[in-house]
C-alpha cells in the first residue's frame, strides 16, 4: 500500500475551498491525469484516470463528509484506493487543504512511479493547480453541504479485492475508525 500526504495553504476562506472540493466533476480542470469524473449520486462517483500511460476506471463512495472539515472516500469496485481531504481554517481568508491518498500500485509502471515518488509529485502539483484555480476564481463553482456520518465502528463497506491487495485492505492500522477511510495527518507547512 502506498500513502501520499500533501497539503497547501490557499488564500480563500475554508468554506470556499471546501465547497469547491465537493464539485468532483471539476477535478479534471486542476488534477493532472484525471480524465473525467461522473457523479452518480451524492455519495458515489465514477472516475477515469490516465497517469503515466496507465488508464484506470473505478467507482468511489464517500464514507464521511462534514462541511468545512473533511471528505473521506474509498473505492467500491475492488481497486484498493481510499483518501481523505481535510480543511483547516488558518484565518478568515486563508485555509489549509490536506490530502492523504492510500492506494495499491498494480502495474509495473505504477510500482516504479510510486518507488520514485511520482505520485507524491502528482498530488503536490494537483494541489498547486487547485490553489491557482480557486484563488483566480475567488469563489467556488458550486457546493454540496451534505453531512455524512462515518459508518459505526466495526462496520465496513465490503468490496471485492484481489488476493494481492486483500491483506493491505484488512490491515486495521491503515483505517481511520471514524470514517472507514485512511488516517489523515496534517503536516505544518
- The arrangement of strands across the sheet holding 34-39 comes to 2-10, 94-103, 81-91, 70-75, 54-66, 44-51, 34-39
- Mention every residue, 6+ apart, whose C-beta is less than 8 A from residue 146: 42, 65, 67
**Domains, the chain, with CATH or none:** 2-22+62-140 (3.30.530.20)
Higher confidence at residue 33 or residue 21? 21
**Which letter does DSSP use for residue 177 in this model?**
T
- Rounded to whole angstroms, the Cα distance separating 147 from 70 reads 10
- 124 — pLDDT class (breaks 50, 70, 90): very high
* Mean pLDDT of the region 32-41: 93
Higher confidence at residue 66 or residue 110? 66
Amino acid at each position: 500500500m502506498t500513502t501520499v500526504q500533501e497539503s497547501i495553504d490557499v488564500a480563500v476562506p475554508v468554506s470556499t475551498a471546501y465547497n469547491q472540493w465537493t464539485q468532483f466533476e471539476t477535478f479534471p480542470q486542476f488534477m493532472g491525469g484525471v480524465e473525467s469524473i461522473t457523479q452518480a449520486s451524492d455519495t458515489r462517483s465514477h472516475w477515469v484516470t490516465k497517469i503515466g500511460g496507465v488508464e484506470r476506471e473505478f467507482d468511489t463512495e464517500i464514507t464521511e463528509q462534514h462541511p468545512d472539515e473533511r471528505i473521506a472516500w474509498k473505492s467500491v469496485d475492488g481497486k484498493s484506493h481510499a483518501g481523505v481531504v481535510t480543511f483547516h481554517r488558518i484565518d478568515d481568508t486563508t485555509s489549509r487543504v490536506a490530502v492523504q491518498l492510500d492506494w495499491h500500485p498494480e502495474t509495473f509502471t505504477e510500482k516504479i512511479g510510486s518507488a520514485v515518488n511520482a505520485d507524491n509529485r502528482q498530488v503536490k502539483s494537483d494541489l498547486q493547480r487547485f490553489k491557482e484555480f480557486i484563488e483566480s476564481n475567488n469563489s467556488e463553482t458550486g457546493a454540496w453541504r451534505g453531512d455524512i456520518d462515518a459508518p459505526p465502528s466495526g462496520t465496513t463497506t465490503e468490496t471485492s479485492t484481489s488476493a494481492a491487495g486483500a491483506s493491505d485492505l484488512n490491515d486495521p492500522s491503515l483505517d481511520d475508525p471514524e470514517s472507514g477511510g485512511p488516517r489523515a495527518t496534517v503536516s505544518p507547512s
